[in-house]
Structure 1
Amino acid sequence: MSVLLIEAFYGGSHKQLMDLLKEEIEGCVLYGLPAKKWHWRARTAALYFMQTIPPNDNYRILFASSVLNLAELVALRPDLGKLKKILYFHENQLVYPVQKNQERDFQYGYNQILSCLVADTVVFNSAFNMESFLTSICKFLKMIPDHRPKDLERIIRPKCQVLYFPIRFPDISREHDKDPESFFKILLKLQEKELPFHVSVLGETFTDVPDLFSETRITLGSSVLHWGYLPSKDDYFQTLCVADVVISTAKHEFFGVAMLEAVYCGCYPLCPKSLVYPEIFSAEYLYSTPEQLLKKLQNFCKRPEIVRKHLFQGDIARFSWAALRGRFRSLLTAEPRKDL
């Protein structure tokens, strides 16, 4: 073994990446915490891993997601601090949306900045994620009342690179941050206009489900094909394969695994003209306002053959594990640090 994988929030796309690396790259050992109570994982995971990861002279590389406070861990475990430390950002806390800016907990973003400073390599799943983080550091640190640190973007940026999240596409024949309110509002307007459609609402739930979900499900009635989490990946992909359109109304997205999986399964994507989406999808698949989204969906409901005959204009193969395998292997098979 030579690669120590650490995931403080072992669920969703975080779990998907770690499982893929462990399975595909020889010499990986994985330690994780269940994907619950995200805030407490960010606050205390380093202390947990300090006690649960046994010392091992064979480790050469430490790979962790940015949920972990890497600075705390390497201070508590100097033996791990000697490894080449790679930090992977699925999302960043400097621009992660909150209802009001006063609600933003300074500590989470601060922890990520500290983690970047002690890491040897900092990897982001998109250019949007990287630039939104780096260019927000100075503004974010202005929350400190005085004696603010300087030039941290200049120190961190040379360590940074973009490496898209690797998706293992299937073998087929073909929360407030996701803004469900806007999505459901669009569906209800389609229903009011008596336009024919069916919908599947898929996704994992980590906390309490808002009343909006259950109320909308009842209102949509027979238009609902499936509602809720599908534990079987095969069932999940089969549901995508019978769909025509996949919609995002996200207020935050740093990559968008689910959207790309749906496109691979034959869905026509409709995404906001913001966040990471312009980096991945061409203008044809982007909308600027809810009104534009509604207009497109109305047209699709009246003329479903438009999307059923459509061939996606773009290269999603570049996001596949097959395409990205080499870069991840190079990242995780690098030589250990020689300055320690």
Structure 2
Amino acid sequence: MSVLLLEAFNGGSHKQLLDLLQEGVEDCVSFTLPAKKWHWRARTSALYFMQTVPASSSYSLVADVVVFNSSFNMESFLSSISTFMKTMPDHRPKDLDRLIRPKCHVLHFPICFPEVTRFLPAHKCLRHLGRQDIHNPAVQHTDHTSVASFSDITKDTESPEGKVHEAGPQTGSVVSGDDDRDKLRPLHIVWPHRWEHDKDPQLFFQTLLKLKERQLSFEVSVLGETFTDVPDIFAEAKEQLVDHIQYWGFMPSKEDYLKVLCQADVVVSTAKHEFFGVAMLEAVHCGCYPLCPNALVYPEIFPVTYLYSTPEQLCKKLQNFCKRPHLVRQHVIQVNISTFSWETLERRFRSLLKADDDMISTEQHTS
């Protein structure tokens, strides 16, 4: 065996990456732990793996290369080392950040973007054509506010088939008709994240309740996985927003999940902790307009058009979108998702796992 994969939280995007590497890279062996109690996994999984992984001369005990899925992830780790070490009572290691930094590289999370054209309403198909000339890194960090010049056309799309944990009223599916009918169709907002406190569902639902108080028309789909402890806000929000709910709960079928994303207009993140954000990029791939905090990893991935700095800004943006949803549906999304595709990143991952760190370093400086 030449490649050892360790995953202490084998669920969600973590499992997605592990499965991708096992499928795409030869001669791998993996050891995993279930996706529960994230903080305990981070603190103690090394002890478990120490006892579980058999001794092998093929593994080195100290990393030659340390890879992070974003610059934000790398810099937040390196800058926090000295502060963390100060909590030790004695025998503190010195200058660890200076020792580790030369080994560190950014290698984005690779996503296998599925073919979703068959699920897209007509206006998203037209927008997709309009995006073909913007897929280059030069446009990544500019403020794009362009709106497509073509008329918005929509058509009937199927509701996701198969079972979901909960489903709300099915009155807001994408419908056929002319531009006037499209203006009347409510804005469809999707929140596709883990049902945990670090994704700040409190802020998301508080924002929606403000929209409701202002008697604005909108629909919402709340997707994402649930774990042992689900914040109480989900049950409370479900009751308060019942007339606005399209879909509610984790969808075990990836196809059903993608169908909902393709029907939605806007995808929102309210995360307080995020090093990458696979769900947001998957939603953008399905034609959703992204709204993300102007913090964490998001400015690294999304142009400023799609960022908000305060809860008030988030609410104002959604309020404007509720009043003019047709403008959202005409907007050509300026995010180069191909940068994060497995097709783009496969070669670098293969080089990494072959221990060809010279190649990784070269590509890091030219990417």
TM range (shorter): 0.7 to 0.9
3-state secondary structure, aligned to 2:327: helix
Measured in 2, the distance between the counterparts of 1:153 and 1:322 equals 32
State the one-letter code of the partner of 2:20.
Answer: L
Q: Aligned runs of 1:7-46 on 2, under 5 Å?
A: 7-46=7-46
State the one-letter code of the partner of 1:83.
Answer: Y
Measured in 2, the distance between the counterparts of 1:214 and 1:12 equals 22
TM-score relative to the length of structure 1: 0.78
Pair 1:83-2:59 in alignment: yes
Pair 1:155-2:87 in alignment: no
Measured in 1, the distance between the counterparts of 2:41 and 2:296 equals 26
Q: Tell me the residue number matched to 1:197.
A: 218
Q: Tell me the residue number matched to 1:2.
A: 2
Report the CA distance between 1:8 and its aligned residue: 1.9
Report the CA distance between 1:44 and its aligned residue: 4.4
Report the CA distance between 1:178 and its aligned residue: 0.9
Q: Tell me the residue number matched to 2:242.
A: 221
**Which has the higher relative contact order, 1 or 2, with Cα contacts under 8 A spaced 6 or more apart?**
2
Q: Deviations over 1:26-57 (max 9, x none)?
A: 21222212112334434543444445444xxx
Measured in 1, the distance between the counterparts of 2:44 and 2:89 equals 25
Measured in 1, the distance between the counterparts of 2:237 and 2:88 equals 43
Pair 1:135-2:79 in alignment: yes
Report the CA distance between 1:203 and its aligned residue: 1.0
3-state secondary structure, aligned to 2:94: coil
Report the CA distance between 1:206 and its aligned residue: 1.6
Measured in 2, the distance between the counterparts of 1:83 and 1:147 equals 28
State the one-letter code of the partner of 2:29.
Answer: V
Gaps of 5+ in 1: 55-76, 86-117
Q: Tell me the residue number matched to 2:142.
A: none
Pair 1:166-2:110 in alignment: yes
Q: Tell me the residue number matched to 1:269.
A: 290
Q: Tell me the residue number matched to 1:295.
A: 316
3-state secondary structure, aligned to 2:241: helix
Report the CA distance between 1:334 and its aligned residue: 2.7
Shift in CA distance, 331/156, structure 1 to aligned 2, threshold 3 Å: same
Pair 1:144-2:88 in alignment: yes
Q: Deviations over 1:123-175 (max 9, x none)?
A: 10000000011011112212223443211001000110000000111111141
Give aligned pairs, total: 280
State the one-letter code of the partner of 1:280.
Answer: I
Shift in CA distance, 138/49, structure 1 to aligned 2, threshold 3 Å: closer
Q: Tell me the residue number matched to 1:257.
A: 278
> Residues 4 and 59 of structure 2 are in contact (CA less than 8 Å); yes or no, is this contact kept in structure 1?
no
Measured in 1, the distance between the counterparts of 2:273 and 2:43 equals 22
Shift in CA distance, 202/30, structure 1 to aligned 2, threshold 3 Å: same
3-state secondary structure, aligned to 2:230: coil
Shift in CA distance, 335/295, structure 1 to aligned 2, threshold 3 Å: closer
Measured in 2, the distance between the counterparts of 1:228 and 1:4 equals 34
State the one-letter code of the partner of 1:156.
Answer: I
Measured in 2, the distance between the counterparts of 1:179 and 1:43 equals 23
Q: Deviations over 1:273-325 (max 9, x none)?
A: 11111000001001111111111111111110111011111211100111100
Q: Aligned runs of 1:58-69 on 2, under 5 Å?
A: none
State the one-letter code of the partner of 2:2.
Answer: S
Extract structure 1 runs of 4+ deviating beyond 6 A: none
Measured in 1, the distance between the counterparts of 2:40 and 2:273 equals 21
Measured in 2, the distance between the counterparts of 1:205 and 1:292 equals 28
Shift in CA distance, 335/321, structure 1 to aligned 2, threshold 3 Å: closer
Relative to structure 2, which stretch is displaced further, 285-294 or 143-152?
A: 143-152
Shift in CA distance, 35/152, structure 1 to aligned 2, threshold 3 Å: same
Q: Aligned runs of 1:96-115 on 2, under 5 Å?
A: none
Q: What percent identity do the matched residue pairs reach?
A: 69
Pair 1:285-2:306 in alignment: yes
Counterpart pick for 2:205 among 171, 184, 188: 184
Gaps of 5+ in 2: 121-195, 358-367
Relative to structure 2, which stretch is displaced further, 293-302 or 134-143?
A: 134-143
Measured in 2, the distance between the counterparts of 1:276 and 1:257 equals 11
> Residues 67 and 106 of structure 2 are in contact (CA less than 8 Å); yes or no, is this contact kept in structure 1?
yes
> Residues 72 and 275 of structure 2 are in contact (CA less than 8 Å); yes or no, is this contact kept in structure 1?
yes
